[in-house]
Structures are given as structure tokens and as C-alpha cells.
Amino acid sequence: MIHYNQEQNVFHLFNKDISYLIHVNGFGRLETLYFGEKLNDVSDILNARTLYTECTYLDKKMSLVTPTPSYFYPDTLVEISSHGIFDKRDAPIVIQHENGSYLTDFEYVKHKIYHGIKPLDGMPCLDAPLERKESLYNKENVDTLEIILKDITANVILHEYLSVYRDKNIIVKSFKIENKGKRIKLLRAFSMQLDLPSSDYYFHHFHGTQWVERQEEINKIYDGTQEIGSTRGRSSHQENPFCFLSKERNSLTDGEVIGFNLIYSGNWEMRVTKTPYDSLHLAYGINDDDFCFSLGRNESFDTPQAVISYSKDGIDGMSQTFHRLIKENLQTDKEREHNRPLIFNSWEGCLFTFDTKVIKSYIDDACKLGIELFVLDDGWFGKRDNDKSGLGDWFVNEKKINLHEVIEHCHERKLKFGIWFEPEMVNPDSDLFRSHPEWALGYEENKDWSHLERNQLVLDFTNDDVVDNIFEQMCKILDEYDIDYVKWDHNRILAEHFTANLPAEKQGEAYHRYVLGYYRLLSQLRIRYPEIFFEGCSSGGGRFDLGTLYYVPQIWTSDETDGASRAYIQYYTSLGYPLSTISSHVSASAQTTYPTKVDIALFGTYGYEMNPNKLSEREFAEMNRGTEIYHKYHDKAILNGTLYHLSNPLDHDEMSMISVSQDQSLAIAVYYEKSNIVMRMDYWKLKGLNPKKRYHLNLNGVDVPETYSGEHLMKVGYYLRDIFRRQNKTILLILKESNY
């Protein structure tokens, strides 16, 4: 809900738990008065603001005027810092005007308050379906304040959109920059600024690389600016756009936590500045590295939406809010909510080396694992026997594989069939590249192709002809073959980002226009093939972000499939993203045993990926335990349950979480310990159960004779006997209400 107090010029965005207050001061600048726990009485709020400083200045006649209030006093908490004036904090929007000046300073003009949230053209956003028909969505649960401002020197209008959810502690921010005057250059177009009065927080972010994605890092906010982000053209393995601030260092249940994420898949950046006045200044959005967007008269630019989640109940409060937002308000493939097939993927089993016979034998043996969908990964198209050629040529390599026969083989066994694409890439050794070398990004910069990564180049998705060509090629395959699932991969970063498609003065638009091309292709395919299940992937988890999750229900989390490292990757990922988005398979990796890998993979979407011809009877049995749990409980407890984190591996060498069904009649908990020596958690204290219900327990397949109350399990905990500690690296506990 949003109230406007006209007398005080104060906007109050609130729901039952949170308040966000903005003041339009006497100079027409926006001050951020408060963000936090719900305020029922805001009548004193103006007293909370930093008072104007009194400063001396020269008036137009060059006489000294003193004292006068000033709006640029540097410790005032503001919504939108200016640029090129006294405020030296990072401004969210920076414009270069026709005369070269960088001065960017927006003054309040008017505002609108309405029910619902505005969709963004050509970009993923909250609550809007793939095909946009309305001007506002979710009028029942979201309210929006649109503040309209004007630059003090140019005819540039800035719209700040602030939406507040009624049913979730979420604030959404974004900007539209509308040029009504002479041509300007947009040098920075972030999605939000947030100023907080105190810098007494810890900053949590998720860094890594391929095979070690999203490792949590915590540091106390320090003097100066801490910057995280990506310039790789995708959200990246190296840092994830999800990050948060916490008052307590690492408490899952207590203290204030403010989480951030960006609905975007390209370059992004978060700058966290502790100001000299000990306040905190956050600026977040599309990375301004090599970014320069030119706007002519009547052209405009929409920034992606930034989402902010507020919790006063520690990290899990924030996590659960983000999980609900992603599932209820972001994801557009509602079909897949309760309809995730158990997948077998061919990649780790045979890589590029297969033919029809091999794949049919894989299907036959994979059937013994109770799978529902077989995926033929890389290698079925063009001239593709290794990673040196073929990308860009999306026609079946009939010498290698008879796809109709393979699909029929699946259907005869009541299996669905899925296939792999890497639509945004091209190998120089491909028909597509030979006929259109200029369709590769960086063509001019790097004609001798010395900078190949995985022998491939990125297609220029800023160019509509390129996107259309790939769309047509993919449609041909999807129309001719009976395909139920597409795995969409992306195995190279954008390094040379010169585009032959844009003139010199528009090269700074390449990164963003590329992302828009990716969204266009994905969206067109989703609309044309509503029955096909699309899964995201980018050399594992290089594009695990909210932009992609708008289009696809799940993303391949990491190419690291061994239980040990996977346990941590999945735990950290689940702090920001629901388990239903975390694609996880049991693989043949050597370090951990199959039972351990099953337990870990169950805390994701679950599937298999190995050479099934090599599995022993014992191994089939070990995995079929997972299949059974998957079919009986996974949808209710994991995909559609509420997740509670129990132990963070960062502080203890163990990780543990529990996912509880909505009606609290079913729950699955996992415990993983890195070392084999001692288990710290003798009493395994659970969360999220109904204190009044009694539960049957099954520990690693063994039924516990007694039942326990939810209260006991949460307050006292379940005493783990030695036998469980010694034998396994994981403990999987299934809890069923006694009359389940």
C-alpha cells in the first residue's frame, strides 16, 4: 500500500511488515527517510532526516550569501544521487549531454500511485506473462509509486518506479529514462540506489568459477567502496547478482537482512559504499563498463527491475521471501510447477562419442533408473564430433544419429525426449560462419580468431537477422521432431564485443542489446512451443539469474556434479533461489558414493547423468532408492516445500537443510559432513515442522521405531546415533506425519 502525505510531501510504501519512506524536500530532491520494519505511526518521520547543512555560496551578482540550506549535503540519504554536483556518491543515472557536460540532477515534477506493477518491453519482469497485453499486472497484490523527475539542464525525464508487495516483504525498483530533447548519451543506467543510515552490516556475496559457483563470502562493510559484478556478457560464474546485507554476521534466524537481486542476465554491478559519515550507499544495476547508450529525441531506456527483500528474522526470512517471489511472481512456465520429469542426460556418459546404437543402449539402461525423460546433449548436429566444429549448424548429423529412431525408442518405453542447443554460439568451422563471418561478435576486432574459447565465438544477437536465423533453424528441428525438452547452453563469455551491426557511436550498446536478443529468441520459442520444457545452462551455472528464470523453470547449477562440492554449491545457491530452480543430477564422479550423491541431488530438481551401461546391480539399487523418494515425495516436499537452512558450511564443515511441505505433513532433511571424524550436531534440530503434529522418521532408509512431535524435533532435536555418523557422509531424513 502507498500513502502520500501532501502536507509533509512524504510517500509511505508499506505492507504489514515493512515501511519505505521518501520525502520530496524543499529543493525538489528525493530523500530516503526510512527502510525497515513496519512503522505504524510515521508522524515524526521528518525529524529523522539529516538536517540541511548551512553553507555559504555566491549568488548571481557574486555576493556572498550565508547561511542558506543546501540540498547536496553529503550525508543526506537520497533516492537518486546527482552526478557532477557536490554529491560524490555513485549516481544511479549518468548522462552526457550534447555539449559534453556530465551534469545529471533530477528534480521532482509529479507522481502517480497505482495498483499493479508495470511490465518492461522486451525484458523479463515480475508478474507479466510472456505475451504482454496489459499495462499493469497483479493489481491485487502490488502497488506502485511512479515518481516523475526532470533533469535540471536538459529535457530528460526520469521515472522512478517503486513497487511494494502486499503479500511479501519485497520492494521493486527500476527507472525509465525518457529523452525529450537533444541527443544524449546514457553513461550509466542502474536500476536502483539505496541509502541506509548505518553501515553496520555484513555484506554477503556469492563468487566462484566454473565448477565452484556461488561460494558465499562474508565481510564486514569497510571504508570505501566494495564492488562486485560481471563484465562477461552474462551474469557469470564469478559473481552472482544475488547478494545481501545482514546485521548479525551469519544468523539464519535472527536480525535484519536485506537481500538484492536483479532481473537481468548480462553485465551487472553492485557498489556498496561506506560513506565518511558511516552511512551506507548502494548502487546496483547494469554494469557501466563499456556501456554507453545513445538516446535521440523521444527515445527511452528501461532499466531491469532490482528486487529488494527485507527480513527481520535472519537469512531464512529473506531466502523464503525470494523463493516465493521467484515461484509466484517471476516464473512464467506455470505448467512445470508440479510437472518436472525425472531426467537422464547423456553428456557425462558419452560426451560427443555416440551413435544411434549407443544412445539406444543408454535409453534401455536408463529406463532401469525409473526415468521419465531422456536428453541427448551436445553432439547430434552439424559436423560435431568434438567441440571444434558444428555450432551454428542446427541440422541433424544423420551420419551419426537417426534422431527419429532414437525418439521412437524413447516413446516405445513411455519416455519423453529432450535435446541440447547452444543457440548463441558459432564455431568458425561451420556452414553458418562460412556464409556469415560478420555475424560473430568481435569479427572486426579479431579476424584471425586467435581468441577462441572452447573453439567458438559468440553470435551477434544485437542483430535481428541473426536471431531470426537461429529461430528458424531451431523451429525446423522442433517442428520436425517430437521434442519435449530443450537444454539451452552458453559456453563462452562475451570478450570481443564489437558488433558489425551497429555504427561506431552505438558500440556501447552491444552488451545490453545482446541480452535483449537472447530474451527475444527465448521468448519467441517459449510462445511458439508452450508444451516444451526449456532448461537453462551456461558451462554449468554461468547464467544462473532471475532474467533467465523468468523464462525457464530450472537451470543446470554447475558442471561440478560430485556430491562433496555440489553440497555446498547447492546450499549457497538455495539462499537466493528455490530448490525447484536448482537442476541437479547424480553422476559417476569418483569422490563420493552414489548414496551420498543421491541425497545431495534430491535437494534440487533430481536426475541422472552417467554411462548407464557401466552400472552394477548394486549401483542401480542405490540410485533407485532416490528414484523412489523422487516419485513419492519430491514434488510435495522439495519442489513445492518451504526451505529452512539448518547449518551453513561456511562456519562449520557441514551443511544441513530441511524442506517442509506446505501442509507440514511431509518433510525431507539432509545433513552432509565433509570430514568423516566427528559430527558436531549430535542433536539434529529441525525447523518448519508443526509442533503439534507427530512424525514418523526414516533415516537413510531405516524406519525409526518411535514417532516424535514436531516440537521435540525442533526444540530438543533428533539424537543421531553413532551408526549414522560413521557409515555415511550424508544423512537423509524423511519425516511423515504419523497418519500420512
617-629 and 594-602 helices, crossing angle to 10°: 20
- Beta-carbon contacts of 534 under 8 Å, excluding residues fewer than 6 positions away, are 333, 485, 486, 488, 522, 525, 526, 551, 552, 553
Report the alpha-carbon distance of residue 34 to residue 14 in Å, rounded.
11
Terminal Cα distance for the chain, rounded: 40
Nearer to ligand DGJ, 231 or 345 (CB): 345
The answer to whether residues 323 and 309 touch, using CB atoms and an 8 Å cutoff, is no
Residue 270 or 537: the one with the smaller Cβ distance to ligand DGJ is: 537
CB of 390 to ligand DGJ, least distance (A): 11
559 is catalytic: yes
Dihedral sign for Cα 274, 279, 283, 288, please.
negative
Cross-strand bridge partners of residue 176: 159, 302
Selected from 144, 231, 539, 728, the binder of ligand DGJ by CB under 6 A is 539
Q: Which of 268, 293, 433, 556 touches ligand DGJ (CB under 6 A)?
A: 556
Minimum CB–partner distance for residue 643 and ligand DGJ (Å): 24
Confirm or reject binding of residue 560 to ligand DGJ (CB under 6 A).
no
Q: List the catalytic residue out of 87, 313, 393, 559.
A: 559
Which of 540, 595, 607, 649 touches ligand DGJ by CB under 6 A? 540
**By rule CB under 6 A, what string of x and - marks binding of each residue 113-152 to ligand DGJ?**
----------------------------------------
By CB under 6 A, residue 377 contacts ligand DGJ: yes
Gap between the Cα atoms of 583 and 543, Å rounded: 13
Q: Which of 127, 316, 489, 545 is catalytic?
A: 489
Q: Does 259 bind ligand DGJ (CB under 6 A)?
A: no
Instruction: Name the closest residue to ligand DGJ (Cβ).
Output: 378
Stretch that binds ligand DGJ, among 474-482, 518-526, 533-541, 575-583 (CB under 6 A): 533-541
Contact flag: residue 489 with ligand DGJ (CB under 6 A):
yes
Nearest of 197, 201, 300 to residue 260 by alpha carbon: 201
Per CB under 6 A, 216 contacts ligand DGJ: no
Instruction: Judge contact between 595 and 601, C-beta under 8 A.
Output: no
- The answer to whether 537 contacts ligand DGJ (rule: CB under 6 A) is yes
Residue 505 vs residues 289, 291, 477, 502, 510: alpha-carbon distances, Å: 15, 11, 38, 8, 11
Give 177's strand partners: 158, 301
- Out of 178, 429, 559, 737, name the contact with ligand DGJ by CB under 6 A: 559
H or E element that contains 201: none
CB of 639 to ligand DGJ, least distance (A): 21
Helices 403-412 and 356-367, interaxial angle, to 10°? Answer: 20
Q: Which stretch binds ligand DGJ (CB under 6 A): 108-116, 429-437, 535-543, 639-647?
A: 535-543
Q: Does residue 342 bind ligand DGJ (CB under 6 A)?
A: no
Q: Could you give phi then psi for residue 258, rounded to 5 degrees?
A: -125, 115
Q: How many residues bind ligand DGJ (CB under 6 A)?
A: 11
Within 10 A of 502 (CB to CB), how many other CB atoms are there?
A: 17
Separation CA 465–CA 468 (nearest Å): 5
Indicate whether 491 belongs to the interface with ligand DGJ (CB under 6 A).
yes
Confirm or reject binding of residue 737 to ligand DGJ (CB under 6 A): no
| Cβ distance to ligand DGJ smaller for residue 424 or 673 | 424
Q: Which is nearer to ligand DGJ, 420 or 514 (CB)?
A: 420
Q: Give the DSSP H or E segment for 534.
A: strand 533-536
Across 74-103, b (16+ Cβ under 10 Å) vs e yields bebbbbbbbbbeebebbbbbbbbbeeeeeb
Peptide linkage before 74 cis (omega within 30 of 0) = no
Q: Could you say whether residue 347 binds ligand DGJ (CB under 6 A)?
A: yes
Q: Does 424 bind ligand DGJ (CB under 6 A)?
A: no
**Cβ neighbour number for residue 152 with a 10 Å cutoff:** 14
Q: Which of 302, 313, 372, 378 binds ligand DGJ (CB under 6 A)?
A: 378
Shortest separation between residue 377's beta carbon and ligand DGJ, angstroms? 5
CB closer to ligand DGJ, 206 vs 420: 420
* Site of interaction with ligand DGJ (CB under 6 A): 347, 377-378, 420, 489, 491, 537, 539-540, 556, 559
What residues act catalytically? 489, 559
